[in-house]
Amino acid sequence: MNAQRALRLGTRRSPLAMSQSRGVAERLGRLTGRSVELVEITTYGDVSRESLATIGGTGVFVSALRDALLAGEIDFAVHSLKDLPTLQPEELALAAVPTRADPRDALVARDGLDFERLAVADGRARIGTGSPRRMAQLNAWSRALGCEIETVPIRGNVDTRIGYVRSGELDAVVLAAAGLYRIGREAEITEFLAPDIVLPAPGQGALAVECAVSNTALVAELAGLDDPHTRVAVTAERTLLATLEAGCSAPVGAYADLLPGEDGQTVTEMRLRGVVGTTDGSTLVQLSTTGPVPASVGEAAAIGRELAEEMLAKGAAGLMGERAH
């Protein structure tokens, strides 16, 4: 590759995707001295107004970027890892998984309310989300509080979703905290939803940097962006998702958190939690496992596979309305 030519980074056109990609470009520039130009690409998920569950979810924000990579139109691409299908194409390298941002979901509600006050006060609060995973867990939470809520399917970028609350059409929306931080809208958050109550999507808060396997020089450069702890954590989560044979729009949550040892500093253990549920929240299968931090992605994958198999044995398969193809 000509060292003088700017690297072409493919990105979706949404404000969030552009912000994520600019952050990666700046880090790569500091690490390597290479200049990077952003190439905006429209994906099917950006133009379709159907719900993610209807259009399949898996890969709808990714395919156009991958096509551009394989055609040589861009040199590398940045994705939200939770949007990435679990099956990695042989021609493409997942060259880096940078340090993960906040993995939690966040509530943006009217009048600064948290979920419990909103659910109890309204009796049937209307909460917007495009995610069956969130619907399942929010409905289960409201049932535990002795309340009912109405989960309303929504699409659109962050501003569009927050606009539903500002207009009074909805009482609240649930979004990824990481996305709100990345576009400077964290002040909108009225409550962070703890993973103890609402498990995030597998890979939520993490980014994926892809390039062609054949471009070995770039693979090596991008590796400087990789965070090993994030890599093993999301590998466990995504292997759980793959073993369940569920796509990224299925009602599956998974989170691997890395736990410090007695000194409070050194990470010594990894706890993986998984949940599958019906979207009405009436039935959830929730399991967890804790052990030493995996020494490799292979070990992390084995942990995710084992927990998923335990979940399947507990009836998880029957709770997923959407299966991968």
List residues with catalytic annotation. Answer: 82-83, 133-134, 155, 161, 248
Sequence-distant (6+) residues with CB within 8 A of 167 are none
Sequence-distant (6+) residues with CB within 8 A of 216 are none
Number of H-type helices and E-type strands within the chain: 11, 13
In terms of Cβ atoms closer than 10 Å to its own Cβ (0-12, 13-18, 19+), residue 167 is exposed
User: What whole-number distance in Å separates Cα of residue 206 and Cα of residue 101?
Assistant: 6
Which two structure tokens, joined as six digits, stand for 158? 């962050």
* DSSP-based three-state secondary structure for 292: strand
Considering Cα of 179, then 294, then 95, then 42, what sign does the dihedral take?
negative
User: What whole-number distance in Å separates Cα of residue 244 and Cα of residue 305?
Assistant: 9
Where are the alpha helices (H) located in the chain, listed in sequence order?
15-32, 44-47, 52-55, 63-70, 115-122, 132-144, 158-166, 177-182, 216-222, 228-243, 297-313
Considering Cα of 272, then 189, then 176, then 79, what sign does the dihedral take?
negative
Tallying the residues shown for the chain, one arrives at 325
User: What whole-number distance in Å separates Cα of residue 56 and Cα of residue 249?
Assistant: 7
Cβ proximity of 186 and 102 under 8 Å: no
